[in-house]
Amino acid sequence: MQKSAIALTVAVMATGASLSASADTLTIATVNNGDMVRMQKLTDDFTSKNPGIDLEWVTLEENALRQKVTTDIATKGGQFDVMTIGTYEVPIWAERDWLVPLEGLGDDYDVDDILPAIRGGLSVDDKLYAAPFYGESSMVMYRKDLMEKAGMEMPEAPTWEFIGQAARAMTDKDNEIYGVCLRGKAGWGENMAFLTATANSFGARWFDMDWNPQFDSQEWSDTLNFYVDLMNDAGPPGSSSNGFNENLTLFQNGQCGMWIDATVAASFVTNANDSKVADQVGFALAPDNGLGKRGNWLWAWSLAIPAGTEKEESAKKFVAWATSKAYAELVASKEGWANVPPGTRTSLYENPEYQKVPFAAMTLASIQEADPTNPTVEEVPYVGVQFVAIPEFQGIATSVGQQFAAALAGQSSVEDALKNAQSLTERAMKKAGYPK
Amino acid sequence: MARQVTLNRRLVNTAVAWGFGLLIFFPILWTILTSFKTEAEAISLQPSLFAFDWTLENYQEVNSRSNYPRYFMNSVIIAVGSVVLGLIIAVPAAWAMAFVPSKKTRGILMWMLSTKMLPPVGVLIPIYLLFRDWGLLDSRVGLVLVLTMVNLPIIVWMLFTYFREIPGEILEAARMDGASLKSELIHVLTPMAVPGIASTMLLNVILAWNEAFWTLVLTTTNAAPLTQFIASYSSPEGLFYAKLSAASTMAIAPVLILGWFSQKQLVRGLTFGAVK
């Protein structure tokens, strides 16, 4: 009896090993956001058109997904056939031949329709290594009523000076209204995404052409001093803990005059079901300082195929389906044009129906303003607007982000934060063998 | 007068205990309540404890998006399997250390404990490569093996502590009566250590149930347990707190119920030998 029980237990556990994916099942790793969840609900369209291909989804929070797919692809684990990755990973992985070049996606795929800025960020040597599912930049979202109350008018392309004046004029701390909400939480994809893009518009850069860190430059000092002063004067309390979701909550509850963040937020803040200020939201380009670069970033969640998958052809069929013009039309027919994944195709922005979406034009203009191959005022040896596409960047930028968050929280001075950022970046880059 | 003082002290103690209990339970209560709110109510800056429009839409959404029974079964198999395997290894090990100690016993115990001090990510790549080569990625067998290794030091330490409380003379008497080593372990030692073994088992089932590093990294679909189920509802760009709360409630409910019904055994086991 006991032996039977043990045998049964082992057999049940062993079932897991034998249940590996069949030849026709694609395992797709993806992030949890509205567009990706919508795609999962619409996959019947794909499976009906491609009988014999089944889809298994692994949906995870962004950071957990990044750790998992990076481990898998670096060790050639082969657990996934399609991976959702960002513009940061694509150039690094493509150079290591970890990704399948996306050629032969079908006659009607129209690869030239992909927005040039997005396509540039996902290509190496003119070869596309990931197909964009949705693209985003950053822009200013502001309260028209509070702006009017402050006696100011938001230009379509504001300067940082204007943003500073408007934020201070809109702030009413007694009534818990804060002129501006910005990312403060430490992390390479949190405060450093915003601050790196902002620094570009102040003329700063992460490295010179010899890979020497530049945090000891006047431009970085100007950037960080402006940010900390602005947030102290017109930001919400505890902003060094605020990321996208915290600021979204504040904005939707009517407590932010302006919010500079991802263009994807536009659909949230204008959704009357969730936002108390849905009918009062205006949009403008991310600010500049008249130096030729704006403080907006560029990002695309994209579908890539890991090299070594045995189901390359089926994976290509899926990638082509999910990032095609036809998919956009499918979403529009089921859930309306406002829910079509934004920021990937020129044809979408030429569509008269999509042009009626209130944030469509500003999203496109913001994406077009960003140039990942030429992100800064002065020349740099790297690709990436709000990141530097080298493997070491995640670790370095998270440490630098902690220094800057400490300065915002008042735990250290701006000068000390920059000094620490410079020394820790110098140390890490020397260790990695970068400076020439 | 003395009786009055005692009564007052008991009342104060009870109030303080309830206060601490509620304080500890409050985040769980908040998660459960949020799971019945709309997303808009979940992020409201003037949140209501009970006065909101109760809805089951988050549970409906979570059930339609995810195959909960599959995640649940994987969690049960992985948690119970790893603890059972751990006990099979740990009972003889703890017996040897408790009743036949050598000069190296203390050192071995400390070494076992020291393995818990290594951050798991430090051995991620070697384990991942081994699992890849052995075909154990995304398998329940693989996770049972890993979680057994992860929790084995705790199981051995707990059992060692319980076994040391059992008089060695009883085992000697059994031996003199002709009991073999196997009989001594199964028929004499184990029945006497049932409270300790039960609490060890319960505690380690909870630890294995909540383990969220290896279970996330080593699984994709077939062996994915409830930790991955929860992680699929977390998002740094988008407010899905109500759905995340519904998923969390569904994930913690089984272990919460298990803990509730077995709290007597847990307390008894954890305080075993604390007061002589």
Q: Which of B43, B21, B54, B62 is nearest to B248 (CA)?
A: B62
Query: Hey, what are A61's tokens?
Result: 């929070």
Q: Record the tokens describing residue B209, joined without a space.
A: 């149930």
How far is the C-alpha of B129 from the C-alpha of B150, rounded, in Å?
A: 18
Degrees to nearest 5, angle at CA A52 with A50 and A57? 85
Closest approach of chain A CAs to the CA of B84, in angstroms?
Answer: 10
CA distance linking residue A91 with residue B74, whole number of Å: 37
Please give the helix or strand (H or E) that residue A165 lies within, else none.
Answer: helix A160-170
Looking at residue B1, what is its pLDDT?
58
Please report the pLDDT score of residue A32 as a whole number. Answer: 86
Mutation target vs B (from A3, A58, A84, A250; most B CBs, 10 A cutoff):
A58
> Which burial class, exposed, middle or buried, applies to B9 when counting CB atoms under 10 A from its CB (0-12, 13-18, 19+)?
exposed
Asked whether residue B169 carries a pLDDT value surpassing 90, the answer given is: no
Per CATH, the number for B66-232 is: 1.10.3720.10
Residue A235 gets the label, from left (phi > 0), alpha (psi -120 to 50) or beta, of: beta
Look at residue A283 and give its three-state secondary structure. strand
Half-sphere exposure of A420 (CA within 13 A, CB side): 17
User: Furthest-apart CA pair in chain A: how many Å?
Assistant: 84
Question: Is residue B208 a contact partner of residue B78, using CB atoms and an 8 Å limit?
Answer: yes
| B109/chain A closest Cα distance in angstroms | 29
Q: Is A86 on the interface with B (CB under 8 A)?
A: no
Note the pLDDT tens digit of each residue in A288-316: 999 999 999 999 999 999 998 999 999 99
CB of A4 within 8 Å of any CB in chain B? no
| Kind plus residue range of the DSSP H or E element containing B92 | helix B68-99
In the structure, what pLDDT confidence band is assigned to residue B180 with cuts at 50, 70 and 90? confident
Q: Is B47 on the interface with A (CB under 8 A)?
A: no
Rounded Cα–Cα distance for residues A396 and A210 (Å): 17
Nearest CA in chain B to A189: B236
DSSP for B189-217, written as a single string = IHHHTHHHHHHHHHHHHHHHHH--SHHHH
Confidence of residue A61 (pLDDT cuts 50, 70, 90): confident
Beta bridge partners of A135: A300
Q: Do A249 and B45 touch (CB under 8 A)?
A: yes
Contact B125 A20 (CB under 8 A): no
ipTM of the complex: 0.79
Residues B111-121: what's their mean pLDDT?
89
Instruction: Quote the pLDDT of residue A206.
Output: 98
Any residues with CB less than 8 A from the CB of A371 and at least 6 apart, and which? A117, A120, A385
Judge residue B89's burial from the number of C-beta atoms within 10 Å of its C-beta, 0-12 exposed, 13-18 middle, 19 or more buried: middle
Q: How close does chain B come to A215, measured CA to CA in Å? A: 28
Quote the CA–CA distance of A125 and A140 in Å, as a whole number: 33
* Residue in A17, A61, A79 nearest the CB of B235: A61
The more confident residue out of B262 and A382 is A382
- Residue A131 pLDDT > 70: yes
Provide the pLDDT confidence category of residue A23 given band limits of 50, 70 and 90.
low
Helix or strand holding residue A256 (H, E): strand A256-262
Q: Inspect the interface and report whether the beta carbons of A255 and B45 lie closer than 8 Å.
A: yes
pLDDT digits (tens, 9 = 90+) for B237-258: 777 899 999 999 999 999 888 8
Give SS3 for A83: strand
Q: In chain A, what are the domains?
A: 21-136+298-360 (3.40.190.10), 137-297+381-432 (3.40.190.10)
Do the Cβ atoms of A300 and A84 come closer than 8 Å?
no
Considering only CB atoms, B141 lies closest to which of A13, A31, A37, namely A13
Task: Quote the minimal CA–CA distance from B169 to chain A in Å.
Answer: 30
Please identify among residues 229-258 of chain A the ones whose CB lies closer than 8 Å to any CB of chain B. Answer: 243-245, 248-250, 252-253, 255
Confidence of residue A325 (pLDDT cuts 50, 70, 90): very high
Chain B residues in contact with A68 (beta carbon < 8 A): 216-217
Residue A424 main-chain phi, psi, to 5 deg: -70, -35
Whole-angstrom distance, CA of residue A313 vs CA of residue A23: 12
Nearest-by-Cβ selection for A274 from B40, B129, B217? B40
* Cβ pair B238:A32 closer than 8 A: yes
Kindly identify which residue of chain A lies nearest to residue B134, measuring between CA atoms.
A17
Q: What are A156's two structure tokens? A: 């379509």
Task: Write down the pLDDT at residue A419.
Answer: 98
